[in-house]
Amino acid sequence: KLLPAPGGPLRGKRIVITAGPTHEPLDPVRFIGNRSSGKQGYAIAAACRRAGAEVTVVSGPVSLPAPSGCEMVRVETARQMLAACEELMPSDVFIACAAVADYRPALETKHKVKKERGGLTAIDLIENPDILREIASRSANRPGLVIGFAAETDDVLGHAESKMKRKGCDWIVANDVSPGRPAMGGDQNEVTVLGFEGDKTLPLMSKDALGDMLAAMIGRALGG
């Protein structure tokens, strides 16, 4: 069902990318989620495809059309996202663009929580698996290039640098998500890519343009 890969610097490369938020269920009608639109991840996927890669997007719930020519695996929770990514290994490149929920409700009830049965006044949370760290620390079949994202509100580069070390990824794309900054939900992004030929600070640009830029950088890193 996928069209043959176009020629380009990423021709023949397999890329797996996570995108969008995760939804962590509380009961059949409620979940904990976040404001990720999925736009940046989908833009990177489309750009890598245009550059010739075979791209699979492991996507949380978003309201965007599938990026053209990419294979889609749709998931809801962090645990499903991790399982889907592991199943897709090995790949040449792994890009963690999803805003994975750090925690999930410790209990998921099969029945809708009802006010007259005591309702819900607090939610116990447990930590979700760290998908980026799991993939970056694989002993077998680790992708040759693992790229993470770091959305921060203060000491952006400092936090991003330690995040890159902690998770074991090769590059981290750092952006400032303070109120009034472009990234969250918008069509533009302004980032620094740590780990690529030293660090590379890019100007404010559209998420599509940043996708093309990253695809070109990946092509260079893979020697294409």
Q: Site residues (CB under 6 A) for ligand CTP?
A: 18, 78, 96, 98, 100, 102, 128, 130-132, 148-151, 163
Q: Which residue is nearest to Ca ion (CB)?
A: 102
Pick the closer one to ligand CTP by CB: 42 or 52: 42
Handedness of CA 138, 148, 10, 76 (dihedral sign): positive
Backbone phi and psi for residue 41, each to the nearest 5 degrees, phi listed first: -65, -45
Cβ atoms within 10 A of the Cβ of 208, count? Answer: 18
Core vs surface per residue 123-154: b (16+ CB within 10 A) or e: eeeeebebbbbebbeeeeebbebbbbbbbbee
For residue 112, say whether it is annotated as part of any ligand binding site: yes
Residue 148 interacting entry, from ligand CTP, Ca ion, none, C-beta within 5 to 8 Å by type: ligand CTP
State the nearest-atom distance from the C-beta of 78 to ligand CTP, in Å. 5
34 among known catalytic residues: yes
Residue 93 interacting entry, from Ca ion, ligand CTP, none, C-beta within 5 to 8 Å by type: none
Cβ atoms within 10 A of the Cβ of 10, count? Answer: 27
Q: Which residues contact 114 (CB under 8 A, 6 or more apart)?
A: none
Residue 54 interacting entry, from Ca ion, ligand CTP, none, C-beta within 5 to 8 Å by type: none
Single out the catalytic residue among 34, 128, 141, 175: 34
For residue 28, say whether it is annotated as part of any ligand binding site: no
Question: Distances from the Cα of 49 to the Cαs of 80, 165, 197, in angstroms?
Answer: 24, 29, 23
Residue 146 interacting entry, from ligand CTP, Ca ion, none, C-beta within 5 to 8 Å by type: none
Pick the closer one to ligand CTP by CB: 109 or 137: 137
Q: Identify the helix (H) or strand (E) that includes residue 84.
A: helix 78-88
| Residues annotated catalytic, as ranges | 34
- Residues at the annotated binding site for CTP? 102, 112, 129-132, 149, 163, 167
